[in-house]
Every structure is written in C-alpha cells, then in structure tokens.
C-alpha cells in the first residue's frame, strides 16, 4: 500500500470535511479550509492518498522562520497504517524546503498517541496552554522541533 503526499486542492474539501467531522469534537467549518488554501499566504496544506482516496491531511503556517502545525487528521479506517507518519514527514520536508528552522504545535494532553508520534520525529514538550480546547477546556501541550535544513 503506497501513501502519496500532495498539496491540498479545492476539490479535496468534501473529503477533508468528512475526515474533519469524524476526527474532532469541534471541527473547522468548510469555509475555514477554503480560506486557508486560497487566501492565507502563510498556510500550506497537504493530503495523504491511498489508491487515489484522500485518507488524511495536515496544515502548517509558515511564519518567518517557524512552522506552526495547525491540524493533522487521518480517516479512522486508515489509522495505524503510517498515514500520520507520512503527513508529519511531508510537513517537515515542506519546512526544510522553505528554510524553516523550527516547528511547533499544540496537542491535547490526553492524546498520547499523537504525542508519541510527534516525539518520534524530534518534537519535545516545551510548555502547557491551560484550558486551550474550547469544547472541554482540556489543556494543550506545546511541542517544538528544531529543523536541520539542507546544507546545515
């Protein structure tokens, strides 16, 4: 099974919304994704495909020399198959290609699976955002990763 990573397109939005709704208690509205991929010059979004089907996605904002991961989600039927790993790898490569020197993200304190995935790619816990998630006031763990750029 080959997982392909490519840039997110407007045509992907129906499928993105299916994954978003099944993955999050407070999903982003469709229009937020549309604005991110058409208007936000800082935003970059990628999708993961298996046999032409979008099975996951990830987004990042490139701000000066930092990349802030906005969201990552994988279709529940495709979790545990390495899709999340490929999305993280795709975002890291995107940062390297853009001269980004560090990446950051917030992750739910209870989401141990995601935290472990991020740690495997060199992200380290660096802080806490109390009551970060509006749906249940759960804390967010802040994680950072230094990027080794090409030629460093």
- Catalytic option among 20, 36, 49, 106: 106
The confidence score (pLDDT) of residue 53 equals: 98
The confidence score (pLDDT) of residue 112 equals: 94
pLDDT tens by residue, 113-134: 999 999 999 999 999 999 998 8
Count structural domains, the chain. Answer: 1
* Residue 129 falls inside a structural domain: yes
The confidence score (pLDDT) of residue 108 equals: 93
Query: What pTM, to 2 d.p., does this model score?
Result: 0.93
* Residue 152 falls inside a structural domain: no
- pLDDT band with cut points at 50, 70 and 90 for residue 150: low
* Residue 151 falls inside a structural domain: no
Length of the chain: 152
Tell me, what CATH number does 25's domain have? 3.40.630.30
- Catalytic option among 45, 57, 78, 118: 118
For range 86-106, the mean pLDDT:
96
List all residues 6 or more positions away from 27 whose beta carbon is below 8 Å from its beta carbon: 17, 20, 21
Share of the chain above pLDDT 90, in %: 91
* Residue 132 falls inside a structural domain: yes
What range defines the domain where residue 52 resides? 3-146
106 is annotated as an active-site residue: yes
78 is annotated as an active-site residue: no
CB 139 within 8 A of CB 128: yes
């Amino acid at each position: 099974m080959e997982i392909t990573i490519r840039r997110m397109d407007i045509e992907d939005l129906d499928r993105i919304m299916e994954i978003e709704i099944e993955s999050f208690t407070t999903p982003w509205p469709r229009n937020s994704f549309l604005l991110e991929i058409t208007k936000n010059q800082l935003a970059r979004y990628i999708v993961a495909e298996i046999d032409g089907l979008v099975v996951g996605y990830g987004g990042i904002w490139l701000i000066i020399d930092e990349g802030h991961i906005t969201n990552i989600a994988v279709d529940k039927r495709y979790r545990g198959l390495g899709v999340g790993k490929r999305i993280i790898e795709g975002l890291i490569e995107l940062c390297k290609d853009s001269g980004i020197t560090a990446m950051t993200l917030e992750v739910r304190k209870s989401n141990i699976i995601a935290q472990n995935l991020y740690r495997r790619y060199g992200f380290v816990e660096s802080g806490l955002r109390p009551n970060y998630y509006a749906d249940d006031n759960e804390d967010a763990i802040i994680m950072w990763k230094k990027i080794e750029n090409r030629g460093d």
